[in-house]
């Protein structure tokens, strides 16, 4: 990899981290409403899978994949406005957080019904296949969501038709409070791929090199028409399920163990070993990501709050008369 | 500037939080995002980061106190020197980097256009004002019947002057105190209590204040207006038309017919000294098509369709006495010339009024022709109890595109719109369309014996 | 005993788990964590992990497994972490649980309770604000309840657990910690199928359930000098207590039905139709309804406020009906 790309990957990791930290702080400062689901600690997964995608590929992030938005090309300003529920956000205030996708950039918004995006991704990949488009769909989901029937239905169909889709399971070991052992009986979610007739792989989701290697292979396979792949990334969220979750269900020791394998820390280590000027890079990147996030916050705070009657817009292609007078 | 530090809402159901302890003191300078205090709610414990850099001006809530969400916990004096950093050059972020296609997303053309913003529809106009009626509610209607009340005597206090239950109750109470006087008044006026407004009427029942005028009696006419009472034949036509429109769902379909072939036959006949109009051709073609589409040659009887064995086409003829519709018996057995002769005969006899009643009944299908002063096309009314009717449009020479030796060519042709109405109770599109298509086919073939 | 609405729910489950060994609680994060809203705090410690079960994120499984347990004579309480997720268990509720007794010709009962937090007004957005009770009122075989007070929350949940039919129990998350109420220390039940007459009045009747009951009661107090309002809290939505409804309509002649759920296809339509049919000659005005506008419950405060009924809209509707 070139130094330029190495440094760019670093900037991406740092931008996501800065963005997530800022949102958590804004929430505690009472400036946000609604849930905030920090993906802090999981940045390498979204960077690894989205960085080398084409503009016309599609991603299906779940609630903790804010990073995927930032890497796939969403405007940080609009993303922040989305979180503030402003008119400038993707959903124009109708819903917050990652429920409003940025479709022109190939980013599909999720519902709260976990993994409900997977069948949608499969359907989209089916279109890519029958129209002979060499595009791919990347569907992210947590190991918690893997317990839902939608996951089975989507993977089964993708296996039947060898669809150009990559299923990315972010296993952060807890579905809210519920640990892996109360969620599934297999060792790895990736083991399930065999049941659908495609390859499953487990990678260290905190190591960007590992993630990028697996992502590259899986995306290449999909693009060439060789079918889906399930990549399970073992990773960890530092925060609770949401900002109002104490996360009492896990130990301090466990958290510290994972913090010592932090994806940004690992990547800085790599940059240093490559004999790049890590201090200069760190300084420059800090200034850059801070500015981008501050500008995004300023943009969102100055954004327009939607007005009541706008609630009725965007419901149908042409408005229908729903309120008899 | 003084800004507020507030108790955040950490969780949808959370309504209050406890200040556990302050990590700063009043007067202390703090950095942005520096933890100011610890809070605890039903769901979470958290450190609250400072919303801005500045100096803690005032601490308003003591440790151990419970306050609702959004309550102000402290005041912060923001330091003007700690404002946002001045904007620098645009970040390198957006620059395209060779070999990294992920960056292309924002500068490339979006794969999906943004959905248009659709304006909500305008509110409907307000309902028309209602005057001259007493507006009442069902309970008032019932009370009026029970107590034999004349509602026009009770002032309504509801919206639009509605007589409400309370109005009736008030009236009854005042009546009770002056019962005799009330009875006398009612007797002298001799007005019966309105039995109108049965409970089965609409939700906001409307009782006419006066008896409505019926349509009987003299029609209103100003000086100089001429009143023409309907003749028996007019009445019959009127009654028949109304009945037809009421009982039959009419479907009207149109065909554009090239009458070039027919014109050729006419020209040939003319040379032989025979004058043929276009009408007999259409009658002849219709008779032939009816034989092939029996459902069109039918009548309705109650809830049954009677497919008629014989084809008797009725042809509308305009006479000085009004519209007459004589019937050509066994039309399908008649030659073109016989049809033409029969029509001429009807025309002549209609003028002298010597068409027999029998000749006007028993039709199984109708054809109407507006004649020389015709028009492009019209939508005829079915002659009950038949199920179909054809109407001829004016024949007009028009440039049309036809296939000449495999080439598209523009030629001048006498064209005619033919309208067919059919009874959708009996006939579906397939049969109706097939019939009209067949009529056109026969006419365009120009092959008449 | 002064308790919040959510504490009343917790107590009901605690008491029933203690009273009857066949009662269990199953749901996402209900055990170790005590529930996303802490409705089951401490219950796993007290009653054991076998009976207060942390389930995978699998609503269809949670309901379906509940049906299997029920056939074996158990009485599972099945928690949807947010009631919005009930759609993920919809098939098991309407096709499996609701038909269980019927399709077996009465050979078995289906004593399950599906409960969870519903309702908006908390800026929860599209998937944390829903009021889907009407979907279930269209399904024969189910019972549907929606308590508005801590007293009812406890008494109705205990009744639901003891009921031999599947009961869908809608909690309103807006009320969880916003209302605190004195309830009896001794055991009590609130019967399913019985409405509560919250306030007597003679000018008009307002029928409500769930969180709007509180706004309606406030309106009745605030407007006391203008109009004498009778307030009925339905409490049970299937079956509806028609006797109480009709008696009130016959008395006042004017009715407004208020619910937070969307207007079209909502409970208010069913209530209005029944009143129009059975009490037509008693009506002194059109049967009126107030519900959410026919759109999803949006996130931004101004949008949400525009969509959902609130104090102001309730007052306006009452005034309009009173003047009719």
State the CB neighbour count (10 A cutoff) for residue C50: 8
Q: What percent of chain A has pLDDT over 70?
A: 99
Which of the listed residues C125, C151, C182 is the one where a domain comes to its end? C182
Please check whether residues C40 and C150 belong to one and the same domain: yes
Please check whether residues C110 and C159 belong to one and the same domain: yes
Please check whether residues C105 and C66 belong to one and the same domain: yes
The more confident residue out of B184 and A283 is: A283
Provide the strand spans (E) within B111-205: 133-135
> Is A177 close to C33, i.e. CB distance below 8 A?
yes
Structural domains of chain B, with CATH: 2-79 (2.40.50.100), 135-201 (4.10.320.10), 232-445 (3.30.559.10)
Best B7, B12, B140, B168 residue to mutate vs chain C (most C CBs within 10 Å): B12
Q: Are C43 and C13 in contact (CB under 8 A)?
A: yes
Please check whether residues C276 and C301 belong to one and the same domain: yes
CA distances (Å), origin C5, targets B69, C34, C39, C158, C183: 18, 16, 10, 14, 10
| C111–chain A nearest CA distance, Å | 25
Rounded to whole angstroms, how far apart are CA atoms B99 and B134? 82
User: For the packed helices B279-292 and B336-352, what is the interaxial angle rounded to 10 degrees?
Assistant: 120
Domain-located, residue C189: no
Domain-located, residue C131: yes
> Among residues 244-263 of chain A, which lie with CB inside 8 Å of chain B?
244-246
Q: Model confidence at B46, in pLDDT bands (50, 70, 90)?
A: confident
Which of the listed residues C159, C182, C205 is the one where a domain comes to its end? C182
C47, C104, C123, C128: which one is catalytic?
A: C128
Domain-located, residue C190: no
Rounded to whole angstroms, how far apart are CA atoms B49 and B74? 12
Please check whether residues C34 and C170 belong to one and the same domain: yes
Domain-located, residue A308: no
Partner residue opposite B118 with nearest CB, options A27, A33, A319: A319
Average pLDDT over residues A194-218: 98
Domain-located, residue C247: yes
Best B8, B13, B69, B163 residue to mutate vs chain C (most C CBs within 10 Å): B13
Residues sharing a CB contact under 8 Å with residue A60, sequence separation 6 or more, in sequence order: A108, A110, A117, A118, A120, A121, A137, A138, A139, A140
Best A95, A184, A307 residue to mutate vs chain C (most C CBs within 10 Å): A95
| C301–chain B nearest CA distance, Å | 14
A289, pLDDT greater than 80: yes
Average pLDDT over residues B201-214: 37
Please check whether residues C135 and C21 belong to one and the same domain: yes
The more confident residue out of C299 and B206 is: C299
Q: Which of B112-126, C7-21, C163-177 has the lowest mean pLDDT?
A: B112-126
Question: Where does residue A100 rank: exposed (0-12), middle (13-18), buried (19+ CB within 10 A)?
Answer: buried
Q: What percent of chain A has pLDDT over 90?
A: 92
Q: Model confidence at B179, in pLDDT bands (50, 70, 90)?
A: low
Please check whether residues C178 and C302 belong to one and the same domain: no
Q: Are B388 and B420 in contact (CB under 8 A)?
A: yes
B165 vs C contacts (CB less than 8 Å): 253, 284
C304 vs A contacts (CB less than 8 Å): 311
Domain-located, residue A323: no
Average pLDDT over residues A212-219: 98
Domain-located, residue A320: no
What backbone phi and psi angles, to 5 degrees, belong to C238? -150, 110
Question: Which domain CATH number covers C261?
Answer: 3.40.50.920
Rounded to whole angstroms, how far apart are CA atoms B292 and B440? 14
| B238–chain A nearest CA distance, Å | 39
Q: Are B52 and B1 in contact (CB under 8 A)?
A: no
> Is C302 close to A144, i.e. CB distance below 8 A?
no
Please check whether residues C170 and C62 belong to one and the same domain: yes
Average pLDDT over residues A116-122: 95
Domain-located, residue A313: no
CA distances (Å), origin A84, targets A31, A78, A92, A96: 8, 10, 10, 7
> Is C177 close to B42, i.e. CB distance below 8 A?
yes
B96, pLDDT greater than 60: no
| C3–chain B nearest CA distance, Å | 14
Domain-located, residue A70: yes
Q: What percent of chain B has pLDDT over 90?
A: 33
Domain-located, residue C142: yes
Domains in chain C, number: 2
Please check whether residues C207 and C286 belong to one and the same domain: yes
| pLDDT score recorded for residue B119 | 45
> Is A99 close to C127, i.e. CB distance below 8 A?
yes
> Is C323 close to B159, i.e. CB distance below 8 A?
yes
Q: Are A87 and C299 in contact (CB under 8 A)?
A: no
> Is B51 close to A29, i.e. CB distance below 8 A?
yes
Partner residue opposite A112 with nearest CB, options C56, C127, C263: C127
Rounded to whole angstroms, how far apart are CA atoms C260 and C252? 24
Domain-located, residue A90: yes
B108, pLDDT greater than 70: no
Rounded to whole angstroms, how far apart are CA atoms B347 and B87? 97
| pLDDT score recorded for residue B238 | 85
Question: Which domain CATH number covers C155?
Answer: 3.40.50.970
Q: Go through chain C and tell me how many residues it has.
A: 324
Q: What is the pTM for the complete model shown?
A: 0.67
B191, pLDDT greater than 90: no
Rounded to whole angstroms, how far apart are CA atoms A74 and A66? 10
C72, pLDDT greater than 60: yes
> Is A94 close to C300, i.e. CB distance below 8 A?
yes
Assess B14–C contact: CB distance below 8 Å, yes or no: yes
Please check whether residues C177 and C52 belong to one and the same domain: yes
A52 vs B contacts (CB less than 8 Å): 100-102
Domain-located, residue C306: yes
**Per-residue pLDDT reduced to its tens digit, B344-353:** 888 887 777 6
Which pairing describes strands B16-22 and B35-40: parallel, antiparallel, or unpaired?
antiparallel
> Is A28 close to B92, i.e. CB distance below 8 A?
no
Question: Which domain CATH number covers A213?
Answer: 3.40.50.970
B105, pLDDT greater than 80: no
Domains in chain A, number: 1
Partner residue opposite A311 with nearest CB, options C87, C128, C306: C306
Provide the strand spans (E) within B123-236: 133-135, 206-208
Domain span at residue C50 reads: 2-182
Partner residue opposite B43 with nearest CB, options C38, C123, C286: C38
**Per-residue pLDDT reduced to its tens digit, A76-92:** 999 999 999 999 999 99
> Is C125 close to A308, i.e. CB distance below 8 A?
no
Please check whether residues C141 and C216 belong to one and the same domain: no
> Is C301 close to A85, i.e. CB distance below 8 A?
yes
Domain-located, residue C191: no
- Measuring CA to CA, which residue among C119, C124, C232 is closest to residue A85? C124
Assess A302–C contact: CB distance below 8 Å, yes or no: no
| pLDDT score recorded for residue B132 | 59
Please check whether residues C177 and C201 belong to one and the same domain: no
- The yes-or-no answer on residue B284 being catalytic is no
C318, pLDDT greater than 90: yes
Pair of tokens at residue A225: 């028409």
Best B111, B113, B117 residue to mutate vs chain A (most A CBs within 10 Å): B111
3-state SS assignment for residue A36: coil
C301 vs A contacts (CB less than 8 Å): 33, 85, 305
**Per-residue pLDDT reduced to its tens digit, B372-424:** 777 888 999 999 889 999 999 999 999 999 888 889 999 999 999 999 999 99
3-state SS assignment for residue B316: strand
Domain span at residue A248 reads: 3-29+36-303
**Per-residue pLDDT reduced to its tens digit, B249-304:** 999 999 999 999 999 998 988 888 888 888 999 999 999 999 999 999 999 888 88
Domain-located, residue C187: no
Which of the listed residues C182, C207, C240 is the one where a domain comes to its end? C182
Q: Are C184 and C14 in contact (CB under 8 A)?
A: no
């Amino acid at each position: 990899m070139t130094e330029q790309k190495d440094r760019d990957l670093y900037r991406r990791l740092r931008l996501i981290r800065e963005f997530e930290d800022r949102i958590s702080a804004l929430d505690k400062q009472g400036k946000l409403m609604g849930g905030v689901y920090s993906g802090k600690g999981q940045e390498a997964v979204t960077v690894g899978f989205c960085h080398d995608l084409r503009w016309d590929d599609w991603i299906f992030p779940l609630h903790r994949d804010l990073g995927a938005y930032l890497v796939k090309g969403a405007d940080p300003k609009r993303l922040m406005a989305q979180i503030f529920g402003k008119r400038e956000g993707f959903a124009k205030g109708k819903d917050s957080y990652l429920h409003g996708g940025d479709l022109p950039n190939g980013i599909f918004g999720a519902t709260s019904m976990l993994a409900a995006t997977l069948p949608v991704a499969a359907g989209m990949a089916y279109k890519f296949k029958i129209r002979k488009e060499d595009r791919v769909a990347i569907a992210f989901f947590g190991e918690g969501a893997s317990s839902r029937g939608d996951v089975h239905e989507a993977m089964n169909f993708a296996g039947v038709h060898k669809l150009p889709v990559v299923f990315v399971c972010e296993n952060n070991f807890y579905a809210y409070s519920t640990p892996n052992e109360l969620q599934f009986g297999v060792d790895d979610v990736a083991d399930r791929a065999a049941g659908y007739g495609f390859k499953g792989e487990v990678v260290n989701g905190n190591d960007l090199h590992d993630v990028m290697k697996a992502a590259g292979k899986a995306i290449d396979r999909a693009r060439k028409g060789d079918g889906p792949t399930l990549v399970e990334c073992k990773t960890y969220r530092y925060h609770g399920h949401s900002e109002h979750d104490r996360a009492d269900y896990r130990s301090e020791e466990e958290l510290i163990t994972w913090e010592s394998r932090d994806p940004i820390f690992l990547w800085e280590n790599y940059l240093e070993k490559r004999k790049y000027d890590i201090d200069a890079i760190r300084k420059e990147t800090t200034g850059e990501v801070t500015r981008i996030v501050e500008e995004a916050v300023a943009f969102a705070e100055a954004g327009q709050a939607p007005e009541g009657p706008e609630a009725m817009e965007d419901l149908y292609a042409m408005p229908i008369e729903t309120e008899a007078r | 500037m003084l800004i507020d530090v507030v108790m955040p809402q950490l969780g949808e159901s959370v309504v209050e939080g406890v200040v556990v302890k302050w990590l700063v003191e009043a007067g202390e300078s703090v950095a942005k995002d520096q933890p100011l205090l610890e809070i605890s709610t039903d769901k979470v414990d958290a450190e609250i980061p400072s919303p801005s850099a500045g100096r803690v001006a005032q601490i308003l809530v003591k440790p151990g106190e419970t306050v609702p969400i959004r309550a102000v916990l402290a005041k912060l004096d923001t330091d003007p020197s700690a404002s946002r950093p001045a904007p620098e050059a645009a970040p390198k972020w957006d620059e395209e980097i060779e070999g990294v296609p992920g960056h292309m997303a924002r500068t490339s053309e979006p794969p999906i256009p943004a959905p248009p913003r659709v304006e909500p529809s305008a509110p409907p106009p307000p309902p028309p004002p209602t005057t001259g009626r007493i507006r009442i509610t069902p309970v008032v209607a019932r009370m009026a019947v029970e107590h034999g009340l004349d509602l026009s005597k009770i002032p309504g206090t509801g919206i639009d002057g509605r007589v409400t239950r309370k109005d009736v109750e008030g009236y009854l109470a005042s009546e009770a105190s002056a019962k005799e006087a009330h009875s006398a008044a009612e007797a002298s006026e001799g007005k019966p209590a309105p039995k109108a407004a049965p409970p089965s009427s609409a939700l906001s029942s409307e009782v006419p204040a006066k008896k409505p005028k019926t349509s009987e009696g003299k029609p209103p006419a100003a000086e100089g207006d001429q009143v023409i009472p309907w003749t028996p034949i007019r009445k019959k036509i009127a009654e028949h038309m109304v009945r037809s429109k009421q009982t039959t769902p009419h479907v009207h379909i149109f065909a554009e017919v090239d009458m070039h072939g027919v014109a050729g036959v006419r020209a040939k006949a003319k040379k032989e000294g025979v004058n043929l109009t276009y009408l007999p051709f259409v009658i002849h073609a219709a008779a032939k098509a009816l034989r092939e589409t029996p459902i069109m040659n039918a009548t309705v009887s109650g809830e049954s369709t009677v497919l008629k064995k014989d084809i008797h086409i009725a042809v509308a003829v305009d006479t000085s006495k009004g519209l007459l519709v004589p019937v050509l018996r066994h039309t399908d057995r008649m030659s073109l010339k016989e049809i033409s002769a029969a029509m001429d005969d009807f025309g002549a006899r209609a003028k002298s009024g010597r068409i027999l009643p029998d000749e006007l009944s028993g039709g199984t299908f109708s054809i109407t022709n507006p004649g020389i002063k015709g028009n492009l096309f019209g939508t005829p009314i079915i002659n009950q109890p038949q199920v179909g009717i054809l109407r001829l449009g004016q024949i007009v020479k028009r440039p049309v595109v036809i296939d000449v030796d495999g080439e598209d060519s523009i030629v001048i042709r006498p064209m005619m719109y033919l309208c067919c109405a059919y009874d959708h109770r009996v006939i579906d599109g397939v049969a109706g369309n097939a019939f009209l298509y067949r009529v056109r086919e026969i006419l365009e073939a120009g092959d008449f014996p | 005993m002064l308790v919040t609405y959510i504490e009343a729910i917790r107590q009901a489950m605690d008491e029933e788990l203690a009273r009857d060994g066949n009662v269990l609680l199953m749901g996402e994060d209900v055990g170790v964590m005590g529930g996303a809203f802490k409705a089951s705090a401490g219950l796993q410690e007290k009653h054991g992990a076998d009976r207060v079960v942390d389930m995978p994120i699998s609503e269809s499984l949670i309901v379906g497994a509940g049906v299997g347990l029920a056939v074996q004579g158990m009485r599972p309480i099945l928690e949807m972490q947010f009631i919005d997720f009930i759609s993920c268990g919809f098939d098991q509720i309407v096709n499996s649980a609701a038909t269980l007794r019927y399709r077996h010709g009465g050979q078995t009962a289906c004593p399950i309770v599906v409960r969870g937090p519903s309702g908006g007004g908390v800026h929860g957005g599209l998937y944390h604000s829903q009021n889907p009770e009407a979907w279930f009122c269209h399904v024969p075989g189910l019972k549907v309840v929606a308590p508005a007070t801590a007293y009812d929350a406890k008494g109705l949940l205990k009744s639901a657990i003891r009921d031999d039919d599947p009961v869908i129990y809608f909690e309103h998350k807006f009320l969880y910690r916003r209302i605190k109420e004195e309830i009896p220390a001794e055991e009590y039940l609130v019967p399913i199928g019985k409405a509560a007459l919250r306030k007597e009045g003679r000018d008009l009747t307002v029928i409500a359930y769930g969180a709007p009951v509180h706004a309606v009661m406030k309106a009745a107090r605030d407007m006391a000098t203008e109009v004498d309002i009778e307030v009925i809290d339905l409490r049970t939505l299937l079956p509806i207590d028609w006797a109480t409804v009709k008696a009130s309509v016959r008395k006042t002649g004017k009715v407004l039905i208020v619910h937070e759920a969307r207007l079209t296809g909502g409970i208010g339509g069913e209530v209005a139709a029944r009143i129009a049919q059975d009490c037509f000659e008693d009506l002194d005005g059109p049967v009126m309804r107030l519900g959410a506008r026919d759109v999803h419950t949006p996130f931004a405060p101004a949008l949400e406020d525009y969509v959902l009924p609130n104090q102001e809209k309730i007052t306006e509707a009452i005034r309009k009906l009173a003047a009719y």
